[in-house]
Amino acid sequence: MADRTNTIWPQKGKPTLALLTASAGFISALLSASIVYYPIWLHRFSFFPGTVFGAVVSISWALGGYLHSLWKIVVITAAATFAYYLSFLAAGAVEMHFVQSKDGSISSLALFVGGLTGAVFVLCSMLFQFDSEIPWQRRLLTALRWSPVGAILGILGWALGPFVGMSVWFVVHALGLTIPTETSQNAHGETSHMYSLWVVWQTGMGGLLGLLLHSGMRRKVERAFRSLAE
């Protein structure tokens, strides 16, 4: 049966799906960086990067034939928005009550907690939309087991601001999508770190989501063949 399963669900699908979702995460980060200043009305909705991430990733799954329900796209997008909101609150709470940095910088602990919180809710939103035959307790444990990846990506993404973030800023600036008065010297601060955080976290989590989605769909194929064999 294993050989038959491999024929129907080839191993090469694993890196393909991971690459698809990682690319979607990267594109969503670039989109967020491109619209962070324009349009102006978007400033009222400061958690739009989560919305963009959820929408682009779920649409990429739909276009790839892995997602066949519009309401699941809506649910995943809403969950990603909520995850961004919660990660922001969690990081802020840690910074305010436990660290209280005097120079205004964000601590690694706050980034860790924020990245961890966002990862838990993003992973849960995905795992609870797929492979519904698995008990919810197991899916929750899977989300918790992989959530530290998001915490590490949060710290790494912020740290790479002068490199990744500034590279993104120069591209966005060349397209005329930054504030006219903003210079590269200004962007070396919070802007570059935030751009880098979006790129690293969303790309990395996108790849992880693709790997987990592939594994879940493969298990579903294997269960189907086992039921046929019985």
Q: Is the pLDDT of residue 40 over 80?
A: no
Closest CA to 129 of 81, 82, 67: 67
pLDDT at 223 over 60: no
Instruction: Please say whether the beta carbons of 159 and 115 come within 8 A.
Output: no
Q: Sign (positive/negative) of CA torsion 169, 209, 130, 17? A: positive
Q: What is the DSSP letter of 163?
A: I
Q: At what angle do helices 136-159 and 190-229 cross, to 10 degrees?
A: 150
Average pLDDT over every residue of 220-230: 49
Residue range 88-102, pLDDT digits in tens: 999 999 998 888 766
Confidence at residue 1, expressed as pLDDT on a 0 to 100 scale: 44
DSSP 164: I
Higher pLDDT among residues 152 and 101, named by residue: 152
For 23, list phi and psi in degrees, rounded to 5: -65, -40
What average pLDDT does range 160-177 have in this prediction? Answer: 95
pLDDT of 36 strictly over 80 = yes
Give the number of other CB atoms < 10 A from CB of residue 152: 17
Residue with tokens 């909101």: 85
Would you call the peptide bond into 39 cis, given omega within 30 degrees of 0 as the criterion? Answer: yes
pTM: 0.88
